[in-house]
Each structure stands twice: as C-alpha cells, then as structure tokens.
Structure 1
C-alpha cells in the first residue's frame, strides 16, 4: 500500500485476485482508486473525500475498496485510468467498468456513489462493460510505406501553433519525440518549440522541467517533475544542440542532468518523480531554501531509468559531460544487477512488482543500445531483446504489454503503440550493432502491426513515423575503432540522430556511413569524416 493511504479513512485492499473474490462473495462492486505520488489532486482527494468519515464508512460498507499506485502498476493504469489522476473506477467482480471519474470532491463523490448503486441494484454484473481498447485482439496492420512519414509531416504543418510554438491550440504538452522528428523535417518548428519549453516549463532555480502547460501560450504550468518526461526532454535538447549548436539547449540539458543526479538521485539510480507544489515553485531561490522541497518518490522504475540512461549518454556524446556519463553508468549497472534476470526486466524492486512488461523491456533496451553506441558497452542488450521477442510478440507481429494473466481485465490483450515504438527503435539499433537482421525483421513486423491506423495518427505519436522511416531507409555509421577514440567521438557528434553508431574494435580504423548496404561517406580522421558527411 502506498504511504498516502493513511491520510484516508477507507479500509483499502491491495489489487489482486483476493479483492475480486471478496467482491464476488459479498455481491458488492469494486471501488478502484488509482493514485500517483506526484499529484496534488490525489492528495486533496485523499484528505477531503476519502478522509471524510461518512464517505469512508459508505465506501467500506457498500464496496470492496482497492487502492493502486499507478506508477508502480502500469498494467492496471493502462486498463482503468479515466484520463488523469486520481481516477476512481467502479468495477464488477469480473473487473468490467461500471463508471468512473477523475478528481471528485465530497458532493461529486456522493453523487457517483448513488449512481453506481442504482446501476448495480438494477443490472448487477450486466452494468459493466469492457473498454474499447481491450476488445480487439490485434491493432490494424498494414504495409510499411513512405506515406507514413509524409502523413506525419502534414500533421506537423497542420497542428503547429505559429504564434506560441508547439503543436495544438489548447493545452501544451512538450512532446519531445515530436520535437526530435521535427528536427530533421521541420527544424523551425522544433527550435521554436524547444525555446517555448525552455522559457515556460524549465525550473530556472532547481532545474528540471515541469510536465505541461494548461494555457495555449504555455502559461499555468503543471509543476510535477517526472523522470521519464525529464529524460525525454534532456534527449530532445541534446539533439537540438547537436543540430544547431545553440548553447542554451546544451545548458538546459546539462542543468537537467544536474537536477536528475541530485534531487532525483536515490544513491543507486534515478527516482520516479517529484510532486508539484505551486506555492513552493513560485518562490525565488533564497526563499526556497527555507521551505521543504516537494515530495520525491524514490521508487526506481526500470522503464524510466532506461530513458534516463539513454538521454544522459547522448548528452555525454555531444558535450563530453562526464557527470552525465558517470550517473548513466551507475543507474545502468544498478538496474542490471537488481531488476534484470536472464533478460526479463522487473518494473521495480519489490515482491509484488510486475516483470517482463513491454515498456520496461523496451525502454531499458533503449538505454542499453545507446550504451553500446556511445560507450561500446552492450550489457545484457541481446538477452533483454530476445526475452521480449520470445515472451511478448504475438503471431500477428504485434507486442502485448504483459502476460495474459492477472486480476480484473489485466489478462486481456493490450497492444500499446508507444511501447511498441520504443521497442522497434531499440531493435533497429540492435540489428546494426549485432549484424543480426532478425532484430530488424521483428521491428518491421511490430511497426507494420499498426500501419493500418497510420493515417489516423497525430503529432503526439510522431515517433512511430520516425521509426518507420528508419526501417525504410536504414542509416548506419560504422567506426572501425573501439569506443572513445577521436574518430568515434566525432562520429557521435556528426551523425544524424536517427543513424546508428557502431564502434568496431576489430575494424580497420576507418569510419563509413552506410545507407542500406551502400557506403556513402567515409573518413579516417575526424576532419575527413566531417568533410565526407557534409558534402
């Protein structure tokens, strides 16, 4: 149970078969409360709604209350979230959804309790339904075509906010993977967005980025700081620096590395998140010294650490920042030692932790393939990839998010697009690094498993178009030296960020760029390589 449950008066149960068996035996619905440690709304609902004695008594008497930390239980989160946190979801004893909502104050909560009771009394288990994304056995497959990239470029152009930067005309999310896609296809959009993110979402005192802005002009930021979102932005700013040489991008990336390696450092790896506190973050640097900093959830999550390792190593590759390299290696080694077992990755270090979740496998694999490219250190990359392919790929080529067992609807198939993109991207790199074409084949099958929906995709999943382009037009820069030589370091700085860098200690001392199987540039010194790549 999470540490905030004590702020309530509800008699919570853990997620699992026992809770649903209790619901069946008692003839009561399940009340599922999905919370996260970084949300002010979750804490407010704990105190103001679940902490109200009469409401708590009502819940305890009429329902089987179950509480879930959504960050620690991603399979439950992906099947039951109502679009934000907290999510309160009412379920049948079979796990089907009766009703649900996000934040509810006491009056709103009493209203939904009455509504659910009426539905339950009138219909019983027939009041439940299965969410649409869990009804289909596989996503709509199609062919890997050039049109996928073309469509996404059209989406960039149509959704870009010319006045304020970023994409969309309402809430502004930073969309770091979209920035990376735009860096090589619509650079002005990418740089204007990076500048807006840096101006409005960067914490200039403590470092790190806030989650998003509720105003179109990037005003009213939500001030939580999540490891995965910060890591993705570190990588986007690092890539932005690589393309433009803009020092402010480099500074933003390195300042955020400093934040991650201090405020979010547990001593072994990176913590999952830091809560938002508007009052605290509106203070100046001196005033903050006299206040307790917002709560940090020190859970070491494999997926988020994988992203951080990846991002910090690209900062090191482009800038030589030794701090970034050192903390990336420490986090990588800790996750390998404590969360990886013969290629199967645990979500976090606990007996009840899920293992082998697609997002953990994919994002930690990305950290390992980047470690191979930048440091020449592969770690268990092939073992992680092979376990994922052997246990999570289905006959259709699509990947499911976890095992086909679990309480509630967790046994139903879910094919997450974002995790599939992360996995395919890492497998493209792994194919080049190992020379094993089978990894590219699996990546192609995974991307094609969603291609039937490509024309309906928006800018928020531009990473899908990016990996599709990488598969259609593979770019590899093979360096015939060990990692860390002047030639290798030059290759890292000079190559397009969608190119895989392959250090080869057994090579002939020459760096060669391949487009498919064709050598299109080569050089024996950094100067020769730069001249060849920029012709």
Structure 2
C-alpha cells in the first residue's frame, strides 16, 4: 500500500504498511467508538518531519501481527503534533513518536515513545488484557488522577515580581552554558533561542561582556557546524552530539524564524559581516524552500534525510529532495513575520518588509474566523483546503505580537487595531482570574470539547510570556493601565514556578524585566515617508527594549490628542510614561534623548 494512501494522515515517505491500520482522527467519533465497543485507544502522536515516527511506520506499524491486533482490539487514533499542540501538551510521553494507551475516556494507561516491533507485539495484548480484566480498578485510578489534577490547578498562587526573578533565570542559563562548544547542557543540543535572546538582552542592559560571549559562541558554533546546512542554508532542528555535530536533519520554520532573530540581534551588537551572512543565508533558504511566494505564506517544515543533506549542492540536484510540509501554521508564520520585519530594518531590506506584510495579511484574511475573531491553527496544503482548529492560545498571541511589530515598522495604526481585537479575544476567552485579578492565559479557549484531557486547561509559560509582551506593549502604546495590569497578573502567576523552569523560562524573564523597567517610548510624528529616518534610528537604538510608534498627523489625530503630542512633523519625542523629551528632529539625536531620560532616572518605574 502506498505510504500516504490515506489523505487524512501522513506516513513515512519510505515504503511502509502503516496506512493499513484503521486510524481514526481525534474527535467525538473516535471516543464514542471506544466507549461503545469497550476498546482502549491507541494514540499515536507523530510529526511529518520526525525521523523515529517514520521508523515506527516502517517497522512496528508495518508488522502484520501489530496491524491485525490493533485493528481488532483497539481504536487507533493518529494525531499530528504540529496541527494539534494542545493534544501533544497533554499526552506527550517524552518525545516523538509518542505511543500512548488510553482508556475510552482518554486517560493514560501506559505508553512510551518509539516501540520496536517485538516489544509492540508483546505490549499490545498485555495492555488490552489488563484493561479488560481490571476496569473497576482502572476507573478508580482515573477518578483519583482527575481529582489530583483539579487540586493542583486550584493550588495556583501568584508571586511578587522582583529583579530576583530575572537574575535567577539568567544565572540558570549561565550555569548550564557549555564553555567549550556553546549552547546549554549536554547532548543532545537544542538551540534554545529564548535563552540566546535573554543573554543578548541582558548584555544590552548590563554591558557584561561575558553575556555577549556566551550568545556569540553558541550562535557561531551552530552556524559554522553541522547543525547549519552549509550547502543550502538554514538550521537543522538539533544536534545529537555536544559539539553540534550529527544533527537531526529536519528543518522547522519555527526554529529558523527564532534563530534568525537571534542572529540579527547579534549582528546589531557586533557589526560582524559573518553574522549578517548567516541571517541572509537563512532567509534565502526560507524564501527558496519554505515559502509560497504567490499566496504569501510560509510552509511548516522540510523532512529529515541524512544521506541527502550530506551531499554537495550539486549532488542534491541529482536526487529527490526531502518532503516539504506545505501546511500554513499560524503561530509559526507569525514568528516568521516578526523575524522578517526585524531583518528588514536590521539589514536594510525593504523587500523583506513587503514579504512579511503579505504573510500577515494572508493570515488575517485567510486564517481568522470572522464570527468568533479567533485565528485558526493551520491551513492544509491544497487549493480547496479549509483552515482548521480554532481557539489555541499560541496562534492568537504570536499573531498579535506580529501585528504590533508590523505597526512599529510601517506606522500603520490599523495593525494596532487588529492586535487590539486579538487582545480583547484573549481577555474574554482565555484569561484566568484568581480573586477577580488576572492570573495568566489558558492554552485553549473556553469552548473546549469534552475529549480526553482537553478539558484540563493548562498554562504555558512560553505562550504566556508572549501574551505579557503583547499587553505591555499595548499598555505603553495606548497609555492603558488596564493592559499593564493584565501583563502584571500574567507574569505574577508564574513566579512560584521559576525555580523549576530554568532556562525554559527565558522569554518570561525578559518580560518580567520589561515590566519592572519601563522601556523608553519613541513617539514619532510624521508621514511614513517623511519620518522614515527617525523610525529606523529608533528601531536600531542600542537599548534592552523600546516602544516605537509612528503617528501620522493626517491619520492618527485621535491618538495624538490622547498622548497630548503636537502635530508638527516630522519630529520624535522620547517618553517614559507622561514625561517626554524635547522634540528631536534628527535621527542622531534619539540616542542622546534616551540617555538623558535614563540619566534622569525616569526610565525605571518599579511597580
């Protein structure tokens, strides 16, 4: 049978029989079938780029005994991790593939990751017999587990935001830094782009050369090593060895977008042409292989193929290239939009700004539900495809951030208005409150189907950090203390978790510092063309962070009045709260105006 005979599912591109298993999609029908038949569920969590998922398709799921036993005794459900991060967050058992055995109500009986054929043939009947012979005991354990999860959610408490939160996470990054090869921890080595970003942010804040050294060494070792494709450009997902060698060869849009931002920030600090070249080569790869130039969106990933990627550029031309997942994933596209916008002013590439805005418009017009206001998770490949899965936090948060980035670069206030629409959706459908105060955002909205553990709404520190950034920026742009309070409550909700999160909370640490130390706000009055020099100078300011807003006197009269700024243009005002500098008319004067506010002690506003 062809490896992808069932169009609903993606199997290994190499010969396999996994399609002979009667896979069900995650949904009401699968759970109803399991309850009516009394059969346990076999949940296979996979990804189109995942090497060991392909191996399992070719081995365990191609074994005649495994196929027949699953079809007779289980309700097999196959889920793509990229399409359903909400399911992955609740059922992943340590990596991909995840092989989880569930009760008909969706509680985990047992499971693991890759399970070879002989072990699978032994495990399938054992789990089935155990479940059928001990249903009463299993149901009691399930009930107890649900009580414990509910109690754990009820124990959530807020903490006080202080500089110590930032310092603890930064120290954790430094402690786990590999002084020989860069990066963090031992093998396998992942990029940890938020940790790189925090090191660069902290260097801009403290001017500590060691912080810059750690980020620079990490990114240079990656760019010069096997984890970067020296022939085509672009970063592979991770390396299996400490020295960034022997990579897993899949290329992910998410990773490349975030690493692009790391390299751009590094280039602005060092001015090294080599860093700019890595950024350009990453962009070239994304434009060449992971972008639909006509429709304007980015593809999700390109598959791993060790033998192919070891070939020279010329050798690759003679071979069929690895599979490209042409799905449009909303949050990943939004990350790419933010990266391309940053590249446009860092590298002085207006074409990248145009490409980013085309993608952003595609997302807003093609992957947003007009009735609910929610962004969809993804759009499958194909001219007749329809967007799928509403109400996931990451898609709303990253799109809102990309919209604010677009407003910053272009000066078009319509992007702020769109970001506000998503922010209000987040408040109404995702925000948790404890004692009537904001307490972070759930990963799914309040319209959750009762399917397995999906009803257990969770809070991701990474996505909540993006939400905090969105509300902080909106609060500063619009002088809205309500938005600042939402950001504060969101950040406070994770303080007690900081000791356990380590460098995985690097993005959160940055937003804590941005809350405690109000960034300078550069309000530029003028048309986009007349004020272009001031805008680029503001974006390039060498500060930990900054808020940049272009206000066109012909279009933004209400916002100018709300900020109490004169309409004479082009001119810039560097502000901290309601305290603003004298008017600045030359791009070179912005740096001095920011330094004057900092020297006066206006910038730091403790709360």
Would you call these one fold, judging by a TM-score over 0.5? yes
Matches of 1:125 and 1:318, distance apart in 2:
63
Q: Per the alignment, in what secondary structure is the counterpart of residue 348 of structure 1? A: strand
Which whole-Å CA distance do the structure 2 matches of 1:344 and 1:427 have between them? Answer: 17
CA contact (8 A) 1:521 1:533 kept: no
- 1:344 aligns to what SS in structure 2? coil
Which residue of structure 1 lines up, in the alignment, with residue 393 of structure 2?
Answer: 358
- Is 1:69 the counterpart of 2:80 in the alignment? yes
Which 10-residue stretch deviates more, 490-499 or 179-188? 490-499
Unaligned runs of 5+ in 2: 1-7, 203-210, 380-384, 554-566, 597-607
Q: Check conservation: 2:378, 2:387, Cα contact below 8 A.
A: no
Cα distance between partner residues in 1 of 2:360 and 2:462: 22
Structure 1's unaligned 5+ residue stretches are none
Q: Which residue of 2 aligns with 1:31?
A: 42
Q: Matches of 1:219 and 1:114 in 2, distance apart?
A: 40
Deviations 1:249-287 (A, max 9, x none): 222122212211220112320011111111111111110
Q: Say whether 1:487 aligns with 2:534.
A: yes
**Equivalent of 1:374 in 405, 409, 412:** 409
Asked whether the 8 Å contact 2:22–2:76 carries over to 1, the reply is: yes
Corresponding position of 2:431: 393
Distance 2:189 2:339 in 1: 22
Residue correspondence of structure 1 range 298-313 to structure 2 within 5 A: 298-313=326-341
Contact (CA 8 Å) 2:498, 2:505: kept in 1 or not?
Answer: no
- The verdict on how the C-alpha distance between 1:511 and 1:308 changes in structure 2, with shifts beyond 3 A counting, is same
Cα deviation code 1:137-190 (max 9, x no counterpart) = 264421111111111222122111111111113321111111111013221111
Query: 1:288 is matched with which residue: 316, 331, 337?
Result: 316
Q: 1:234 aligns with which of 233, 251, 260?
A: 260
Shift of 1:117: 2.4
Return the TM-score normalized by structure 1. 0.95
Aligned residue pairs total 535
The range that moved more, 247-256 or 344-353, is 344-353
Per-residue deviation at 1:533? 4.5
Deviations 1:289-316 (A, max 9, x none): 1111111111101111110101100000
* Farther-moved stretch of structure 1 (136-145 vs 206-215): 136-145
Give the direction of change, closer, same or farther, for the CA distance of 1:352–1:302 in structure 2 (3 Å limit).
closer
Contact (CA 8 Å) 1:161, 1:168: kept in 2 or not? yes
Instruction: Return the offset for 1:505.
Output: 2.0
Cα-to-partner distance string for 1:334-355 (whole Å, 9 max, x where unaligned): 1111112343111123668221
Give the match's secondary structure for 1:104: coil
1:330 alignment counterpart: 358
Alignment of 1:14-413 (within 5 A): 14-124=25-135, 126-127=137-138, 129=142, 130=145, 136-137=152-153, 139-185=156-202, 186-200=211-225, 201-266=227-292, 267-268=294-295, 269-342=297-370, 343-349=373-379, 353-377=388-412, 378-379=414-415, 380-396=418-434, 397-404=439-446, 405-406=448-449, 407-413=451-457
In the TM superposition, 1:490-529 aligns within 5 A as 490-496=537-543, 498-506=545-553, 507-508=567-568, 509-519=570-580, 523-529=584-590
Deviation (angstroms), 1:459: 1.3
SS in 2 for 1:409: helix
Query: 1:518 and 1:254 mapped to 2: Cα distance?
Result: 39
SS of equivalent residue, structure 1 residue 37: coil
Q: Please state how far the C-alpha of 1:389 moved relative to its aligned partner.
A: 1.3
1:122 shift after superposition: 3.6
Q: 1:57 to 1:321 in 2, by over 3 A?
A: same
RMSD, matched Cα? 2.1
Hey, what's the Cα distance between the residues in 1 that align with 2:105 and 2:82?
23
Evaluate the alpha carbon distance shift between residue 84 and residue 520 of structure 1 in structure 2; reply closer, same or farther with a 3 A threshold.
farther
Q: After the TM superposition, which of the residue ranges 488-497 and 211-220 deviates more from structure 2? A: 488-497
With over 3 angstroms needed to count, the CA separation of the structure-2 counterparts of 1:239 and 1:133, relative to structure 1, is farther
Q: Does structure 1 residue 3 correspond to structure 2 residue 5? A: no
**Displacement of 1:529 after TM fit?**
2.0
- Look up the match of 1:418: 462
Q: 1:290 to 1:477 in 2, by over 3 A?
A: same
Residues 482 and 488 in structure 1, CA contact (< 8 A), matched pair in contact too: no
Cα offset, 1:456, TM superposition: 2.8
Q: Give the match's secondary structure for 1:354.
A: strand
User: Partners of 1:142 and 1:169 in 2: how far apart?
Assistant: 32
| Partners of 2:500 and 2:170 in 1: CA distance | 13
Q: How big is the shift at 1:53?
A: 1.8
